[in-house]
Amino acid sequence: MLKNYFKIALRNLTRNKLRAGIHILGLSIGISICFLIFNIVWYSHSFDKFHPGLEQIFRINTLSDYGPGESYPVSATPGPLGEVIQDEMTGVEQKGRLNTLYQPLVSVPSQNRVIGRSSEVTFADPGFFKIFPRIWLAGNPETALEKPESVVISQKSLEKYFSGTDPANALGMELIWVDADTIRAQVTGIVEDYTENSDFIFTDFISYSTIQTQEQREWYGLHSWGNVNSSSQLFVKTVPGMTLEEMNKSFEKIVAKNYDPNEDGKTSFFAEPISEMHFGQNYDDTTVSKVFLDGLTYVGLIILVLATLNFINLETAQAIGRAKEVGIRKTLGGRRPQLIFQFLIETYLIVIISTALSLGLVEILRTLFSDYLPKAFRLEYLTGVNLGFYFLFPLLLALISGIYPAIILSGYQPQRALKGEGVAQRGFSVGVFLRKNLTVIQFSSSIGFIILVLVLNYQIRYVSSQPLGFDKEAVMYTVLPFMSEPEKMVQLQERLIQDSRIQGASLSGSLATSTSLWTSDAYIPVDTTEKQIYIQVMNVDSAFLFVNGIPLLAGKGSSNKEDEILVNENFLKEAGIEDPEEAINLGIKFNGDEKKIIGVVGNFHSRTLREEIQPLVMTINPEYFQTISVKLEPGQNLSVVKTDLEKLYKEIYPYEEAEFKFLDEEVALFYAEDVKIRNVLGAACILAILISAMGLFGLSSFTIAQRTKEISIRKVLGASILQILGLISKEYVMLVLVSFGLAVYPAYYFLNDWLNGFTYKIEMPYFLFVLSGIGVMGICLIIVGLHSYSAARTNPAKVLKSE
């Protein structure tokens, strides 16, 4: 029986090659996207799920609340909490503390070798390994991290530092990390690296007790309850049965004891289940937001729904062709459940073939979208989960998409179906109604996607073409080592200027435009009182204006004196000074010191165009310079210059990684997230159009074939081809119009929201809405036109004769 079903299903497929092709291609696109998204979502949920007693492990977070809209959650805790938590709170079975280091320089003194900077180094207390046990290759797990200046390294580090050394022989070796301070420690243990996905990327665990003196504590920001540094991590393992709510409740006691209730900001602590860590803040910035994952899931589902709708649509439209078979089978003794089963089998076969094809498509998608996938994400086809996917998903999909057509088909009365009248439609028919609605849904989502993509693109082009107020072309920059000596920075700057290809070089705390922000308050004398202005501060040297091409409106540029500042136009506006010249030599108070305005610069966008230009003060503080930017002579071979600059950088900072980047690329990065959204939507858009077009192609070929007789009679009665085209197209024009109406509002709603995030934005471009509608209408008419044209061209005598 089953064999018979499969056989007839297969023959049906090969008989209607076009129909089968449309079905299979459409479905496989949907499935491949679902598969990819399923894997990404699964991957993102797979982090740190393997620790024993997972439900009882939490990371403690801190929330600083300064009133509505100003609450700042940080995935870190003040140092003292880590010291007292076990004493002041019941239910804590074990605590583990980390204090991560920011890119220290690692070296191996025995080999006189500098390894380079690593972001996988942290201080850790013995409790950390009790909560997160490891496999130990050497050393004593109990005592390894007890003494100061001990370090436990992973196998990966062992390979890197002491290549080829046996774990047991590496014990006692010395390592040095240079942060701001120099940390020396002896290897007391070697552990295996995790093989599962984990956010604990660390390979060097220096004993927490190495931080001994008050001075060290202050340096790491661990000394007071008022200081929360994102490096300071606290984990707890609770006694079984303790809930998140109970934990958060018992934190209140600790807060009450250690914080003054009259303080401005309210501090509170809350526990984060360790399995959620990947969606919060982790240690290599690879977190994914749940919102993004959800968005991705929705896009995937929409595409799948479209593909499924296609299937249902075409299948029910084809029903008439199958009616005869249903009639015969019923006459021969087939019962309805058997027929439903048969049609489901047929659907299942299509879904299975589509699934197989989709695995090929996944590879294409994966290459196309490799930039959007999580970095360490790899697609493995033969994992248990994926095998489950291959098995269950087609079953489910076949059931969902096949059940409606199967029920419709199997419901025909045999004696009427055999005469061909059981499916004649009189008045209102659910089938036709549904079919039209499904088509409308497909069109609306296509139109919606197109509108979104067009408008997003329009705005992105608008913001990237806006004048920024400075010259971003031919400017290269690089990041300086953290807390580098000012002399070395100046040395680098001088060496750079000597190069004839370079017009100028400037040291600064941040780039002319960047995501980093330093804000403060300035006080200027107005009449007898002082006026407070909320300002943005930039730390720059005298060459900054020249290198970045920022115009000077009045006064002179800076001469690297700490009591002189520059301000921008908006500062004057805020201060109520109309003529820039008036501001020169004006004294203002800022950062506790008296400063003198010596120049006024034009407004420029130092942040993204989402934000307004703030009143700006340019000051100088050479110790905190972090970047160096250079202005190139025009007409240089950029890649040669880049290599030469990096070589020079290496001469001054031999142990650092050197990389010079272009400022305009940095600016483009501001909108990277938007470009990403646009591209993902763009791809979704193309797929939606493709699937809808395929669906329409199949559907219209079918409905037009049904109307051949009508067309022929009309032709005999004297209708022209054009009139017939109009007749058939009218119906589809209506469908597109309805779809357009449905698509406009959701698209508008989303776009309005998105555009409101920009201070500098386009007016809602309604013409793009109309354009999208017209575009889809065009595609629709072309597809329908192709079919109806050939139908209208057939010789009516032929059609009517065979009737």
Partner 1 sequence: MIQLKDLDKYIESRFQRIFILKGLNLTINEGEFITLMGPSGAGKSSLLNILGLLDDDYAGEYSFGGKDIKSMKDKERSSLHKSEFGYIFQAYHLIDELTVYENIETPLLYRNVSSAERKSIIANLLDRFNMVAKKDLFPAQLSGGQQQLVGVARAIAGRPRVLLADEPTGNLHSGQAREIMEVFQELHKEGTTIIQATHARENADFGTRLINLIDGRIEKDEVIIQK
Q: Which residues bind partner 1 (CB under 8 A)?
A: 1, 4, 7-8, 11-12, 15, 324-325, 327-335, 338, 413-415, 418
Q: How far is the CB of 28 from partner 1 (least distance, A)?
A: 24
Taking a C-beta distance cutoff of 8 angstroms, is the pair 103, 482 a contact? Answer: yes
Between 8 and 352, name the residue whose CB sits nearer to partner 1.
Answer: 8
- As given in the structure block, the two tokens for residue 510 are 């941040």
Between 331 and 370, name the residue whose CB sits nearer to partner 1.
Answer: 331
Q: How far is the CB of 289 from partner 1 (least distance, A)?
A: 51
Q: How far is the CB of 324 from partner 1 (least distance, A)?
A: 7
Between 332 and 717, name the residue whose CB sits nearer to partner 1.
Answer: 332
Between 12 and 606, name the residue whose CB sits nearer to partner 1.
Answer: 12
User: Could you tell me which of 620, 630, 625 has the C-alpha nearest to residue 488?
Assistant: 625
Query: What's the CA gap between 238 and 131, in Å, rounded?
Result: 10
Q: How many residues does the chain have?
A: 803
Q: Where are the beta strands (DSSP E) in 16-169?
A: 57-65, 71-74, 92-100, 105-108, 113-117, 121-124, 136-139, 150-154
Between 26 and 334, name the residue whose CB sits nearer to partner 1.
Answer: 334
Between 147 and 335, name the residue whose CB sits nearer to partner 1.
Answer: 335
Between 164 and 333, name the residue whose CB sits nearer to partner 1.
Answer: 333
- β-bridge pairing 182-191 and 150-154: parallel
Q: How far is the CB of 333 from partner 1 (least distance, A)?
A: 4
Q: How far is the CB of 6 from partner 1 (least distance, A)?
A: 12
Q: How far is the CB of 15 from partner 1 (least distance, A)?
A: 7
Between 73 and 411, name the residue whose CB sits nearer to partner 1.
Answer: 411
- As given in the structure block, the two tokens for residue 710 are 């009508």
Query: What's the CA gap between 517 and 610, in Å, rounded?
Result: 14
With H, G, I as helix, E, B as strand and everything else as coil, classify residue 525. Answer: strand
Q: How far is the CB of 329 from partner 1 (least distance, A)?
A: 7
- What is the helix (H) or strand (E) element at residue 600, kind and residue range? strand 593-601
CA dihedral 305, 309, 312, 315 (to 10 degrees): -130
- What is the helix (H) or strand (E) element at residue 568, kind and residue range? strand 564-568
What residues contact 678, with CB distance under 8 A and at least 6 apart? 453, 456, 457, 460
Between 10 and 686, name the residue whose CB sits nearer to partner 1.
Answer: 10
Between 331 and 559, name the residue whose CB sits nearer to partner 1.
Answer: 331
- As given in the structure block, the two tokens for residue 272 are 């984060």
Query: What's the CA gap between 785 and 534, in Å, rounded?
Result: 63
Q: How far is the CB of 442 from partner 1 (least distance, A)?
A: 30
Q: How far is the CB of 319 from partner 1 (least distance, A)?
A: 16
At position 549, the amino acid (one-letter code) is G
β-bridge mates for residue 566, sequence order: 599, 618
Query: What's the CA gap between 690 and 303, in Å, rounded?
Result: 10
Between 420 and 757, name the residue whose CB sits nearer to partner 1.
Answer: 420
Listed in sequence order, the DSSP H helices in 707-795 are 708-716, 721-755, 766-793
Q: How far is the CB of 415 from partner 1 (least distance, A)?
A: 5
Between 419 and 650, name the residue whose CB sits nearer to partner 1.
Answer: 419
Q: How far is the CB of 334 from partner 1 (least distance, A)?
A: 5
Q: How far is the CB of 3 from partner 1 (least distance, A)?
A: 9
Q: How far is the CB of 4 from partner 1 (least distance, A)?
A: 6
Between 324 and 709, name the residue whose CB sits nearer to partner 1.
Answer: 324
User: Could you tell me which of 580, 518, 522, 586 has the C-alpha nearest to residue 551?
Assistant: 580
**HSE of 468, CA atoms in CB hemisphere, 13 A:** 24
Between 353 and 463, name the residue whose CB sits nearer to partner 1.
Answer: 353
Q: How far is the CB of 406 from partner 1 (least distance, A)?
A: 17
Between 331 and 637, name the residue whose CB sits nearer to partner 1.
Answer: 331
Listed in sequence order, the DSSP H helices in 466-543 are 486-498
Query: What's the CA gap between 604 and 471, in Å, rounded?
Result: 10
Taking a C-beta distance cutoff of 8 angstroms, is the pair 64, 259 a contact? Answer: no
- Would you tell me how many other CB atoms lie within 10 Å of the CB of residue 549? 17
What residues contact 327, with CB distance under 8 A and at least 6 apart? 412, 414, 415, 416, 417, 418, 422
- β-bridge pairing 564-568 and 593-601: parallel
Tell me 109's DSSP state. G
- As given in the structure block, the two tokens for residue 653 are 């900072």
- As given in the structure block, the two tokens for residue 576 are 């109520």
With H, G, I as helix, E, B as strand and everything else as coil, classify residue 421. Answer: coil
- Per-residue DSSP letters for 227-288? ---TTEEEEEEEPTT--HHHHHHHHHHHHHHHS-TTSSSEEEEEEEEGGGGGGS--SSS---
Q: How far is the CB of 717 from partner 1 (least distance, A)?
A: 29
Q: How far is the CB of 327 from partner 1 (least distance, A)?
A: 7
Q: Which residue has the tokens 């400037």?
A: 506
Q: Which residue has the tokens 């032929």?
A: 798
Between 325 and 574, name the residue whose CB sits nearer to partner 1.
Answer: 325
